[in-house]
Amino acid sequence: MSEVFPAGPATAAEDADLRRAREGDGDAFTRLVEPLRRELHAHCYRMLGSTHDADDALQEALLRAWRGLGGFEGRSSLRSWLYAVATRTCLDAVRSRGRRALPMDLGPFSERAVIENAPATDVAWLGPYPDAGLVDGGPAGRYAQREAVELAFVAALQHLPGNQRAALLLFEVLGFSAAEIAAMMNTSTTSVNSALARARRVVAEKVPERSRQQALRLIDDARLRQVVTDYSTALERGDADALVALLTEDVTWSMPPLPHWYRGIEAVADFALRVPLTSCPPWRHLPTSANGQPAVAGYLWDDDAGAYLAWSIDVLTLRDDRIREITSFVDAAHFPAFGLPPSLP
């Protein structure tokens, strides 16, 4: 998964901005880092599993970079140096906050619908990532941009210690050499190679051999849009048969921060019939995309507000042209990052 963004020679304008930034010109520093902001943010998300944590980490990393710019000697590219600062910032966050989880990390699936299902507030949950934050272009590597934010991959990363997580991302996703990574992380090349070997074993056990992107490329765009539309329509109409017809036999449905999850067509159908199709107020949906996968934003009717209010971002994982996994991220706080309105009339 090696996605390389070559640094290339600095332009005269970049050299001038670097000189001005070292002299305290904040606008010059902003011009230098702005072209790299999106890819740095995606790196922080992969490290931390949360868009909100990535926001905080990137802000802290850029503040550290601004304060430490005098220590940048130009022996590497500015991009490499910024990735080193961002990675160290994320490692500090990993040490203080721990890893993020999905419901299947915490316990076995439920065979029947759990009606009284209180959110688990003591768990740090994995969150969705808006595709608008991904950088386009660059040569395709072992993990391309969209593959490297797929839920299965980001969830697998959460099972790695911070140093292994960082080494894998810097090497396999961003294309830095083991020697460069050793310099970034203040360690030896031998330690980096050892961390890479251990990280690859864990990820290989947890990530499907064929990426979601490879699977999606086998589906006609029109059919993909139709599946998303049919999923939304089935929920809005309360049509259990139409929903079940879209699912694989081994489908899973999870809803962080709710701890219970379901596996298999019978368990998922029982949950769908008892909760979102009959017990919930009316639904409305907007199509979106998250983690390199099709997604829908769900809004539930609220009598007091007289509107449909933001409820969940449902990320759909497909096998062939059926839904293999539904991950419903239940929290209106996810919506602003996707540029989605808080309510629908």
Q: How far is CA 155 from CA 10, 41, 42, 152, in A?
A: 36, 17, 15, 5
- Residue 73's contacts (CB-CB under 8 Å, 6 or more residues apart) are none
Give tens-digit pLDDT for 251-307: 999 999 999 999 999 999 999 999 999 999 999 999 999 999 999 999 999 999 999
Q: Which CATH architecture has domain 218-344?
A: Roll (3.10)
In sequence order, what are the beta bridge partners of 316? 326
Please tell me the predicted confidence (pLDDT) of residue 213.
65
SS3 letters across the chain: CCCCCCCCCCCHHHHHHHHHHHCCCHHHHHHHHHHHHHHHHHHHHHHHCCHHHHHHHHHHHHHHHHHCHHHCCCCCCHHHHHHHHHHHHHHHHHHHHCCCECHHHCCCCCCCCCCCCCCCCCCCECCCCEHHHCCCCCCCCCCCCCHHHCHHHHHHHCCCCHHHHHHHHHHHHCCCCHHHHHHHCCCCHHHHHHHHHHHHHHHHHHCCCCCHHHHHHCCCHHHHHHHHHHHHHHHHHCCHHHHHCCEEEEEEEEECCEEEEEECHHHHHHHHHHCCCCCCCCEEEEEEEECCEEEEEEEEEECCCCEEEEEEEEEEEEECCEEEEEEEEECHHHCHHHCCCCEEC
Looking at residue 138, its pLDDT comes to 45
Q: Check residue 6 and give its pLDDT.
A: 40
Whole-number pLDDT of residue 132: 81
pLDDT given for residue 145 in this prediction: 67
Ranges under pLDDT 50 in the chain: 1-8, 138-142
Q: How far is CA 103 from CA 213, 279, 322, in A?
A: 23, 22, 22
Q: What is the pTM of this model?
A: 0.91
Rounded Cα distance between 173 and 293, Å, is 18
Looking at every residue in the chain, the average pLDDT score rounds to 90
The architecture in CATH of the region 12-206 reads Orthogonal Bundle (1.10)
Residue 127 has a pLDDT of 97
pLDDT for the residue 134: 78
Q: How many Cα atoms occupy the beta-carbon half-sphere of 210 within 13 Å?
A: 9
* Structure confidence at residue 193 (pLDDT): 97
Spans of all domains in the chain: 12-206, 218-344
